[in-house]
Amino acid sequence: MSGPGRWRELVRVEPGEGRALAWSCAYFFLLLSSYYVIRPLRDEMGLRGTDDALSWLFVGTLAGTVALNPLFGALVRRFPRRVFVPVVYHALAATLLAFYLLLRAAPPEAALPVARVFFVWVSIFNLFAVSVFWGFMADIWSSAQGRRLFGLVGVGGTVGAIAGGALTAGLAHAVGATQLLLLAALLLEGAVLAVRRLSRIAAPRSAPAPPGEDGLTGPRAWLEGFRLIARSPYLAGICVFLMLYAVSSTFLYFEQARITRAAFTDSASRVAFFARVDLAVNLIALTVQLFFTGRIIGWIGLGASLAVMPLLSTGGYLLLALVPAVPVLVGGRVRAGAPGARGALHRRHAGREVHREEPDRHLRLPRRRRDRRLGRPGAGRAGGRRRRARGDLPAAGRGLDRPGGLARPAPARAGRPRGDPMSRAIRLHEYGGPEVLRWEEVPVPAPGPGEALIRHTAIGVNFIDTYHRSGLYPLPSLPHGLGSEAAGVVEAVGPGVTEAEPGARVAYAGGSPGSYAELRVVPASRLVPLPAAIDDGTAAAALLKGMTVEYLVRRTCPVRAGETVLFHAAAGGVGLIACQWLKRLGARVIGTVSTDAKAELARAHGCDHPVVTAREDFVARVRELTDGRGVPVVYDSVGRDTFLRSLDCLAPRGMLVSFGNASGPPPPLDPLLLAAKGSLFLTRPTLLHYTATRAELLASAGALFEGIVGGAIRIEARHAWPLPEAAAAQRALEERKTAGPILLRP
């Protein structure tokens, strides 16, 4: 058969059906777009807490569904669907807006309960929203028309699911995950518009349902349903299949939860990741639905095709038991999310059972001869599948497993620049003051295995750079490059690199010094791909400082809401980020600064009590503000000038976190002094040890990016110098003439 002939056979739309079909597809498209925008948020919130908590979320979903079902049935019976359906979707959209406000305004201690309620609500939302849709479709189309056209409507839903996943994947980091609730509500309102148009098209042709069609509700309807199942071995078989499928999928859900928790720690990265896997699954489903299902049925028959699905599942579970890794979970998700094949098969076979003796009683369009054939087997309702939470598998996968879509879905091809390019860079031939820095031309080798060549667009200046220049932190050899932080574009990658590809925007922090350069080869494993919402200057100004703050306040000495902390150098690059992050955690911040102008700057960034050390005794001020108790933690990057006196600010069993030496190295300390001052703790952490693995690196950067994109952390690079003037930038930093981040521009 020719191509046009095949499509006419597949798309058998008869005169008078086109407008209603188009609006039906639009309705399902908008509905599933909305659901697939919020589903990754639901999946991410399900990962918060323990597996026991996740189990109770499943129980809550079941309880909520059972509790709402009688009310749902009563409303359907009482009101016409053209009235009832818009009200349902308006209510769902209003609920999304309510969750948006709750998630934005809830204090940290209330965030987890809100997330759990949201998980249960979205799971129930899926069941009832899709049930309402197919009930409305049953009112508009006859069974014969449904067998011809529902496949096309289902394709519209699948395309909507693809669009929803793509929107969430692209916007999760750009606008923040919570903002996506507004988009989902807008899409639901679009579905209401489609319902109203369909009601106008179909209403003149509607006919009342036969007497007694919907005469049973509540427990009586359930009992009648059980009787129908008991009388039909086929329906009973479907029920057993779905029950076993849901139970087995629950095991897969918990395994993917364990693996995904280990791979990602920040919410935006999880949301974007889940959305990308949803997108991949639905694209595969649509492809199978349109091009393979019919061929498979033709080759091996309908019964054998149905039997293949559990066999594939069994093989997948055996493989997962042997290799409990993310790629295997993705394979299981594709198997579970291939409704284009599975849904089409079951509807095709079930349609013969359910509609065998059903008259053409729902015709809304002109009556015509019954078409006893089903649509082509590849035209199943991929997007219209109903899922319970236990069978609705969150995504997990490899190749898309980087926070915020930071990695590319396919390995990058190795690339080599044409010849060894030359780069100009700041070099250090001897230790000393800023005057020892030299602006030189140096060759840049092609990237080797596991390496990437980066063309810098913005370079961060940090106090650690001055430690390397002075020799406080000796370099491996001289001459040597300087600088530990930069952002730019990947020019080429060496063999075996999967973390980035040429053309990608990336940033890095830490590792061997050498970022004060136009071009540089770095280990690809230390690269952090940048979200579209974060420009290169912001990344270079924030990455090292922001990840430092992340490990200090979340991991070295975790700060709880309501605690009072002392942070030295509160108006510095690290200090301004720390003030904002600590306020986000609900802490009360005391910060030391050197001038009144810096005090105002620190206050504007969340410091509750700036202390100007030029005229105030910070120890006395801390004791005054805490009623003599002291603070549980002091974060000190100043070093020699504040180290010993910081111990006097601590409450018993408090911790001094010494993470810098701006005024010089701290003096030697007798451990007995810690006991005498209240059994105190002292630690000297470094960023390297808190980002030792790639998972830790990406999690730390992801938490920082989430705060920046969400507006909780503002990055203002107030000072910038051309790269050749790096000495002037370091001199200003050491003389405390700057406030906030400093950039060098190549």
Lowest mean pLDDT among 105-114, 170-179, 271-280, 585-594: 105-114
Summarize pLDDT for 288-323 with one digit per residue, the tens: 766 776 667 667 765 666 667 667 666 666 665 565
For 379, list phi and psi in degrees, rounded to 5: -100, 45
pTM, two decimals, is 0.47
Radius of gyration of the chain (CA): 31
d(CA 435, CA 654) in angstroms, rounded, equals 41
Q: What is the pLDDT of residues 166-207, one digit of tens each?
A: 888 888 777 777 788 899 889 989 988 888 888 777 643 434
The answer, yes or no, to whether residue 730 has pLDDT greater than 70, is yes
Q: What are the backbone dihedrals phi and psi of residue 214, each rounded to the nearest 5 degrees, phi first? A: -115, 35
In this prediction, residue 358 has a pLDDT band, given cuts at 50, 70 and 90, of very low
- Taking the C-alpha atoms of residue 299 and residue 407, their distance in angstroms, rounded to an integer, is 39
Report the pLDDT averaged over residues 574-599.
92
- DSSP, collapsed to helix, strand or coil, labels residue 714 as coil
Distance in angstroms (rounded) separating the CA atoms of residues 341 and 291: 10
Mean pLDDT, all residues of the chain: 76
Q: Which two tokens stand for residue 591?
A: 């910060």
Task: Output b/e per residue, 605-632; b: 16+ Cβ within 10 A.
Answer: bbbbbbbbbeeeebbebbbebbeeebbb
Q: How far apart are the first and last CA of the chain?
A: 63
Strand order in the sheet with 437-443: 437-443, 422-428, 480-481
Q: How far is the CA of 717 from the CAs of 352, 563, 577, 736, in angstroms?
A: 68, 29, 12, 15
Ramachandran angles phi, psi of 372, nearest 5°: -80, -10
Lookup result for tokens 């390297």: 688
Q: What is the pLDDT of residue 77?
A: 65
Strand 742-745, strand 588-593: pairing: unpaired
Q: How far apart are CA 317 and CA 332, in angstroms?
A: 8
Q: How far apart are CA 593 and CA 605, in angstroms?
A: 13
Per-residue pLDDT, averaged over 664-688, amounts to 91
Number of residues assigned to the chain: 746
Q: What SS3 class is residue 17? A: coil
For 51-99, the pLDDT digits (tens) are 566 667 777 777 776 776 666 666 666 666 667 778 888 888 888 888 8
Greater model confidence, 308 or 697 = 697
Neighbours of 323 (CB within 10 A): 11
What's the token pair of residue 613?
């050390």
Q: Is 529 helix (H, G, I), strand (E, B) or coil?
A: strand
Distant-in-sequence, close-in-space partners of 347: CB < 8 Å, separation ≥ 6: 150, 374, 380, 381
pLDDT of 121: 79
Q: What is the mean pLDDT of residues 412-431?
A: 67
What pLDDT is recorded for position 403?
32
Please name which of 422, 417, 410, 419 lies closest in space to residue 498, comparing C-alpha atoms: 410
CA-to-CA separations, 413 to 445, 490, 492, 539, 645, in angstroms, rounded: 18, 12, 9, 25, 55
The predicted model gives 660-676 an average pLDDT of 88
Q: What are phi and psi of 49, to 5 degrees?
A: 90, -160
Amino acid at 296: I
Share of the chain above pLDDT 90, in %: 22
For residues 221, 226, 231, 233, the Cα torsion angle rounded to the nearest 10 degrees is 130
Determine which of 36-45, 143-152, 634-643 has the lowest per-residue pLDDT on average. Answer: 143-152
Q: How far is residue 81 CA from its own chain's centroid? A: 36
- Read off the tokens for 706: 């989430």
pLDDT of residue 516: 92
d(CA 214, CA 226): 16
Residue 735 pLDDT: 81
Query: Residue 116: what pLDDT?
Result: 78
Residues 6+ apart with CB under 8 A from 318: none
Tell which wins on pLDDT, 441 or 271: 441
Is 553:517 a contact under the CB 8 Å cutoff? no
Q: What is the 3-state secondary structure (H, E, C) of 157-199?
A: HHHHHHHHHHHHHHHHHHHCHHHHHHHHHHHHHHHHHHHHHHH
131-134 contacts at long range (C-beta below 8 A, 24 or more positions apart): 131/72, 131/386, 132/81, 132/84, 132/85, 132/88, 132/89, 133/27, 133/28, 133/31, 133/384, 134/384
User: How far is residue 631's CA from residue 7's CA, in Å, rounded to a whole number?
Assistant: 74
